[in-house]
Amino acid sequence: MALVGPSPLLDNPFATVLGDLREERSATVSFPPGETRFSLARTRRFNDDPLPLLLEAYERFGPVFTLRLFHGNVVFMIGPAANHYMTVSHAANFTWRESHMRELVGLMGDGLLTIDGDFHRRSRLAMLPGFHRERILASVDVMVQETERALDQLAPGERFDLYTWTRRLALRIAMRALFGLDPDGAAARSVDAAGLFEQALSFFTSEAALRMFRGPLTPWARMQQAARSLDELIYSEISSRRGSGERGEDILSLLLDAHDEDGSTLTDLQIRDEVMTLMFAGHDTTTSTVAFMFYELAHHPEVVGRLLAEQDAELAGGGAGGRPNPAQLMSGELAELEMVFDETLRKYPPAWVGPRRSVEAFEFAGCTVPGRAFVNYSSWVSHHLPEVFPEPDRFLPERFTPEAKAALPKGAYVPFGGGSRTCIGMRFGQLEIRTIATLLLSRFTLSLPEDFQLEIRQMPTISPKRGLPMIVRSRPPRETQSLRSSMSSVHRG
């Protein structure tokens, strides 16, 4: 049987909203306690700054609560047990496609992230070989080359936007390593993929009411415009590969040759949807993580000292310009860097909310939740519970020593989700972030302009709202560094 995707979602947002309201009214069990009266202020607050709102609701109502947002009730399930329930033990009772983030289907189509059930399971199986350890390890050369190329554009004393810089870098890496696409070839050069993704994703930060309209000049039209330009790039690569028969080790080659038990292959549209999904998921999260990591490092010179001392000791050649080897990057054996990475993903997990819709009514922590309800888990909120991560607002990489990490309760730390929908690109993303961070630190130290205030944009992933301006400085020479790190370990001791 061929891989056949789901039927299209309703194209009329007003009809969709009516359908949601009808389903909410026909619920056969009550919603969990919470704020269930319409409030524009609450909806705005959720759009602008959801973390404190959700933490307050958790304090008042416990691990499962309801907030009326936009036009309807949304249930949140927070904390280790809730994360485990939704992603692992009862994952089959939740779908992604009709969740409150269903508008992403308008950009990505029916790629892995937004599909469910048997279609999801089989699509994932078809793509898994592209994410095997050896395949990922083979991408390290591209990651190193591209990062060094991007670093060559920076010079001490300069000010640049780290967020935009990383987005461009991560997209070039994704194009080359995942799809075998030449970012300097004629087709790729004719589109500004990073700019187009910015344009497409700005749909999700526009006013909820404006997102309902579909005519010209609407946020939706801008998103569609950007998607069509990205499509041209993807379709031209598909057609040129189909025409030439050329194949590589990349995921596009894998998708072009994937076939079912009955021999049927994927259509161009199915391949386009997977490529678009991977391009989006494969660069956006990485970009935010690098940006938040260096934002925190700029506030914690003592942590930078430890990272540089680790580089001096562990990287081939040591000191400034010391080079990591692929095995070091893949295994995460640079222990200080690993703790910084884990703590960054605790404090700022880019894919901060796991949007779902319940299939059947269920009971959790003594509360009932209706079937067909919007239900979300949230790593960001769960990672800020003081009973699980004391002093959650502080950036403390030492929370993630291997022993402390192993002692965390099941479901407590879920930056990559869990169960059958665990991030398929986790190893790729980890390798990429370690590579970018290691090479950046080995060449430069970054600091923030004094007047910079971090504001976070939350949709569809969390990222610095207005980019991340950084000032480039040379990496301190080895002697100063060793002195600083020995002082900081005395301090720690």
Instruction: State the minimum distance, in angstroms, from the CB of residue 493 to ligand HEM.
Output: 32
CB of 339 within 8 A of CB of 397? yes
Distance CA 187, CA 182 (A): 9
The residue (of 304 and 424) whose beta carbon lies closer to ligand HEM is 424
Give the per-residue contact string, 358-397, with ligand HEM (x = CB under 6 A; - = no). Answer: ----------------------------------------
The residue (of 227 and 375) whose beta carbon lies closer to ligand HEM is 375
Is 256 in a helix, a strand, or coil? helix
Query: How many C-beta atoms surround the C-beta of residue 224 within 10 A?
Result: 17
DSSP assignments along 79-148, one per residue: SHHHHHIIIIITGGGEESTTSTTGGGHHHH-S-GGG--HHHHHHHHHHHGGGGSHHHHHTTHHHHHHHHH
Q: Does 463 bind ligand HEM (CB under 6 A)?
A: no
The residue (of 275 and 309) whose beta carbon lies closer to ligand HEM is 275
The whole-angstrom distance between residue 281's C-alpha and the CA centroid of its chain comes to 6
Of positions 415, 460, 464, 476, contacts ligand HEM by CB under 6 A: 415
The residue (of 52 and 117) whose beta carbon lies closer to ligand HEM is 117
The residue (of 306 and 421) whose beta carbon lies closer to ligand HEM is 421
Distance CA 175, CA 172 (A): 5
Pairing status of strand 469-474 against strand 159-161: antiparallel
DSSP H helices in 176-332: 179, 186-189, 193-201, 219-244, 251-257, 268-299, 301-314, 326-331
Q: Which of 292, 463, 350, 385 is nearest to 76 (CA)?
A: 385
CA contacts within 13 A on the Cβ side of 57: 27
Size of the site for ligand HEM (CB under 6 A): 26
**Positions in 160-219 near ligand HEM (CB under 6 A):** 178
The residue (of 141 and 302) whose beta carbon lies closer to ligand HEM is 141
**Positions in 122-151 near ligand HEM (CB under 6 A):** 124
Query: How many C-beta atoms surround the C-beta of residue 306 within 10 A?
Result: 22
Distance CA 148, CA 443 (A): 10
Of positions 270, 286, 311, 382, contacts ligand HEM by CB under 6 A: 286
Q: Does 113 bind ligand HEM (CB under 6 A)?
A: yes
142 Cβ contact partners less than 8 Å away, ≥ 6 residues apart: 173, 176, 177
Q: Does 320 bind ligand HEM (CB under 6 A)?
A: no
**Positions in 229-268 near ligand HEM (CB under 6 A):** none
Q: Does 297 bind ligand HEM (CB under 6 A)?
A: no
The residue (of 288 and 311) whose beta carbon lies closer to ligand HEM is 288
CB of 484 within 8 A of CB of 476? yes
Stretch that binds ligand HEM, among 75-83, 147-155, 342-350, 390-398 (CB under 6 A): 342-350
Stretch that binds ligand HEM, among 4-12, 25-33, 360-368, 419-427 (CB under 6 A): 419-427
Pairing status of strand 34-35 against strand 64-69: parallel
Instruction: State the minimum distance, in angstroms, from the CB of residue 351 to ligand HEM.
Output: 4
Among all residues, whose Cβ is closest to ligand HEM?
425
Of positions 50, 305, 324, 350, contacts ligand HEM by CB under 6 A: 350
Q: Does 281 bind ligand HEM (CB under 6 A)?
A: yes
Q: Which of 337, 481, 350, 349 is nearest to 397 (CA)?
A: 337
Of positions 85, 163, 400, 416, contacts ligand HEM by CB under 6 A: 416
Q: Does 32 bind ligand HEM (CB under 6 A)?
A: no
340: amino acid identity, one letter: V
32: cis peptide before it, omega within 30°? no
Residues of the shown chain interacting with ligand HEM in the complex, contacts defined by CB under 6 A: 112-113, 124, 178, 277-278, 281-282, 285-286, 289, 345, 349-351, 354, 415-417, 421, 423-425, 428-429, 433
